[in-house]
Amino acid sequence: MTPAPHPQGVLVGKAARLQAGRSVLEPRAGTVNIAGLARLSGAQVDTNESDPRRRQLLSLQGFEPYALDAERLDNLLPVDQTYHAVAMNPP
């Protein structure tokens, strides 16, 4: 996985209209580039990362990442959990 460069992360945040009062999920949070910018915008950010090393990096930065298969998140996340946006680095 290639980390999202900072300008791309800013563009994703603007496209998703991330701001205080909105919730966002980054399904493959990786090295926290998009999730970190989303949090700086004031949004409530949930992260997911299957790689243990990257998940630890997320934890060190104050996130509480899920450790789920991102391809099956719609079936694995709590039923009552909804998001205003899903933001991720395009593959």
pLDDT in tens, 13-65: 777 888 899 999 999 998 888 888 889 889 999 999 999 999 999 999 999 99
pLDDT greater at residue 15 or residue 69:
69
Token representation of residue 75: 């079936």
Q: What local confidence, expressed as pLDDT, does residue 3 receive? A: 59
Tell me how far apart the alpha carbons of residues 47 and 26 are, in angstroms, rounded to a whole number: 5
pLDDT category at 67 given cuts 50, 70, 90 is very high
Does residue 1 or residue 11 have the better pLDDT? 11
pLDDT, residue 1, reads 54
d(CA 21, CA 27): 19
For residue 2, pLDDT over 60 is answered with no
60: its two tokens: 């060190």
Distance CA 68, CA 48 (A): 7
The rounded distance, in Å, linking the Cα atoms of 34 and 75 is: 23
Under the banding of pLDDT at 50, 70 and 90, the label for residue 9 is: confident
